[in-house]
Amino acid sequence: MQFEAISIEGLSHRFLSRTRPPTTALTDVTCRFPAGKVTSIVGPSGCGKSTLLLIMRGLVKASQGDVKFLYGNGAGALTPGDAPRMATVWQSFNLLPWRTVVDNVAFGMELQGVSKAERREKAMDAIKSVELSGFENHYPGQLSGGMKQRVGLARGMVMSPDILFLDEPFGALDAQTRLYLQEQLSSLVEKSAKTVILITHSIEEAIFLGDHVVVMTARPGKIAASLDVDLPRPRGIDVQNDKRFGELFSEIYGLLRDEVRKSMMN
């Protein structure tokens, strides 16, 4: 049985509040995210794209509809099955501030009861792969934003997830750090051939990293369009000079423009 896709049908979500009427974050979202590909989700702020990620990851229960993980039997038929292994990288890093880098990276394995020696060894490898060797015993408060996010990436990757969720992973970083990490992530993703769901508000980032780009509407969010990014891989940062990149950018911005305006009106 091969994991083939995440499938969402007729998914809606409302937030209840004590003081205000409920907010509809997502309405009737239907979408399919193929395995082994990078799908970028862009949308105006507040459109519910992070909520969609939390629902897919199983951390929030949707008010209506659900998420299925489809497995193929090799003959073309798809059947829903158990959730594969998943890990998330967060915009605000969410590292435990009282744990050192190595203890943060090893946290997931510690929760699973992996032995101390084994989790330390794996964590050290992961730290090396994000070029943070020498910082194992630093606390998150002693690291820059870009370094923190590399710890976040190592913490997720060390769990060897089938699906990697990236919730605006570079949103809190400065422009140069962001460019550098985008390049690193791009090569990492190309090598590992993992299923990646990337939430972002940057159109460039969505195209540069994505095989597909899903565009969402303003709140209540739904899928406005889904585009294929037909740019060759491996991609360097100079793919942004490609004529096709510019066309995709204009097309996505054209779709987003009115939605952004709507999101500012309400």
Residues 191 and 189: their CA atoms lie apart, in Å, by: 5
- Say how far apart CA 26 and CA 219 lie, in whole Å: 7
| Nearest partner of 28 among 13, 18, 45, 48, judged by Cα | 13
Applying CB under 8 A, which part among 72-80, 134-142, 210-218, 234-242 lies near other proteins?
A: 134-142
Nearer of residues 95 and 130 to other proteins, judged by Cβ: 95
**19 or 112: whose CB is closer to other proteins?**
112
Instruction: Report strand pairing: 195-200 vs 212-216.
Output: unpaired
Out of 1, 10, 98, 246, the only residue in the binding site for other proteins (CB under 8 A) is: 98
Fill in the per-residue mask, 103 to 132: x = in contact with other proteins (CB under 8 A), - = not in contact.
----xx-xxx--------------------
Residues in binding contact with other proteins, number by CB under 8 A: 24
Q: Which residues pair with 72 in a beta bridge?
A: 2, 78
Q: Is 90 near other proteins (CB under 8 A)?
A: yes
CB of 32 to other proteins, least distance (A): 23
Take residue 231 and report the two structure tokens written for it: 């740019």
* CB closer to other proteins out of 85 and 261: 85
Per-residue contact flags (x/-) with other proteins for residues 23 to 52, judged by CB under 8 A: ------------------------------
Is 54 a binding residue for other proteins by CB under 8 A? The answer is yes
Residue among 163, 26, 180, 144 at smallest CA distance from 89: 163
Environment class of 20 (CB within 10 Å of its CB; exposed 0-12, middle 13-18, buried 19+): exposed
- Alpha-carbon distance of 235 to 153, in angstroms, equals 20
CA–CA separation, 180 and 185 (whole Å): 9
CB of 57 to other proteins, least distance (A): 6
Q: Determine the Cα–Cα distance for residues 205 and 141; give it in Å rounded to an integer.
A: 27
Question: Which residues are bridge partners to 64 per DSSP?
Answer: 12
By the rule CB under 8 A, 94 interacts with other proteins: yes
Distance of alpha carbon 223 from the chain centroid: 17
* Rounded least distance, CB 94 to other proteins, Å: 4
CB of 89 to other proteins, least distance (A): 9
264 contacts other proteins (rule: CB under 8 A): no
Interface with other proteins, residue 69, by CB under 8 A: no
Footprint of other proteins (CB under 8 A):
54, 57, 59, 86-88, 90, 92, 94-99, 107-108, 110-112, 139, 141-142, 155, 159
